[in-house]
Structure 1
Amino acid sequence: MRMQRVAIIGRGGSGKTTVGRRIADALGTTITHLDALYYDDEWNTLPQDKFATLQEELVAADTWVIDGNYASTLPIRLRRATHVIFLNLPAITCLWGIAQRRMRYRGGQHDNTGVYDRITWGFIKYVWGYRRTMAPRVRALLDEHAGHAQVHIVTSRRAANHLADQLTARAS
């Protein structure tokens, strides 16, 4: 199946942006970060209906790469995706990724993504408990809405880099 529309999901710090940027470059498109759509500069959230409508508009395009979780709207992306990458990395790996990102950007905006670093105790608990709480929900949504897509579930940084290498080579 030709890679055209790629949904990238996974807990914070799993490398969604890094993998997504590589794939978007190979496809000749830009990556959309759902955090940048959902939150403004002061961490106010977009109303759910507007957030869903924005995603419906995004996925109507022929080619896209979208990174972000948001299980409530994940079916919108899954229904149109040709490829899904689920970065289900260990919590400690993701927490280390978050720490590295924090040091790199000093709590500011990440490389013109529109995403700002915001680490709270609730976020750390979410990352730590993701495999127990969110991963089963994501897998159920994948089973329900992504049967037509190529689904890649990755459990290590090495595997994520290898997958990105494979997919970008095929896209070129």
Structure 2
Amino acid sequence: MNRIAIIGCGGSGKSTLARQVAAVLGHPLTHLDAIHYDQQWQPLPPEQFAAEQQKLVAGDRWIIEGNYASTLPIRLAAADTVIFLDLPAAACLWGILQRRWRYRGGQHADGVYDRITWGFIRYVLGYRSAMRPRIHALLQKHGPHARLITLTSRQQVNRFLGQRQR
């Protein structure tokens, strides 16, 4: 596990898991929100966002967390491990509410942005039916060489972390 892509629905715990795995393995961690958005929540142009990821994946060891399906092939092609947090919508919505309570909204120091809109809630509710098939297709096309770890509950995430800490 030297080049790890962590993907999943908003609120699934990607950022938290990424921080914990980075602490255990000592790999550099990148939150894609921190690259994609500036302080005013303005996105980078798509070409620049893709170019930044090309630079990141050129390293020998990294953890990159975030979805961004349009640039997922860049990360999948270079990753040796993909961790897919495939949690139910209710768990993701609960994660979003906990994050809102903890951070009180806005952009966090690590670049993750806590922004809840009706569009985002609809995205979370429809993630498994709309995005999961797309993610699986991208995994088959761009990441068949990578070890895929799919975690479908917070309990599985905790067990996975417990195994890493031994």
- TM-score, normalization by structure 2: 0.96
Quick one: which of 93, 96, 104 aligns to 1:95?
Answer: 93
Aligned amino acid, residue 146 of structure 2: A
Q: Does residue 22 of the first structure (1) align with residue 37 of the second (2)?
A: no
State the secondary structure of the residue aligned to 2:113: coil
Alpha-carbon distance between aligned partners in 2 of 1:55 and 1:116, rounded to the nearest angstrom? 19
CA-to-partner distance for each residue in 1:72-123, whole Å, 9 max, x for gaps? 110100111111000010000000000000000011333x211221111111
Alpha-carbon distance between aligned partners in 1 of 2:13 and 2:56, rounded to the nearest angstrom? 21
CA contact (8 A) 2:39 2:107 kept: no
CA contact (8 A) 1:21 1:30 kept: no
Counterpart residue number, 2:143: 146
Give 1:151 deviation, angstroms.
Answer: 0.3
Give 1:30 deviation, angstroms.
Answer: 2.8
Aligned amino acid, residue 42 of structure 1: Q
State the secondary structure of the residue aligned to 1:134: helix
Counterpart residue number, 1:107: 105
Aligned amino acid, residue 37 of structure 1: I
Aligned amino acid, residue 133 of structure 1: A
Unaligned runs of 5+ in 2: none
Give 1:150 deviation, angstroms.
Answer: 0.8
1:18-167 matches, within 5 Å, as: 18-110=16-108, 112-167=109-164
Aligned amino acid, residue 106 of structure 2: G
Alpha-carbon distance between aligned partners in 2 of 1:27 and 1:137, rounded to the nearest angstrom? 29
Runs of 4+ in 1 over 6 A off after TM superposition: none
Give 1:164 deviation, angstroms.
Answer: 2.4
Distance 1:168 1:65, change over 3 A: farther
Identity of aligned residues (%): 60
RMSD across aligned positions (CA): 1.1
Give 1:37 deviation, angstroms.
Answer: 0.7
Report the number of matched residues: 166
Distance 1:168 1:149, change over 3 A: farther
CA contact (8 A) 1:85 1:151 kept: yes
Give 1:168 deviation, angstroms.
Answer: 4.4
CA contact (8 A) 2:3 2:60 kept: yes
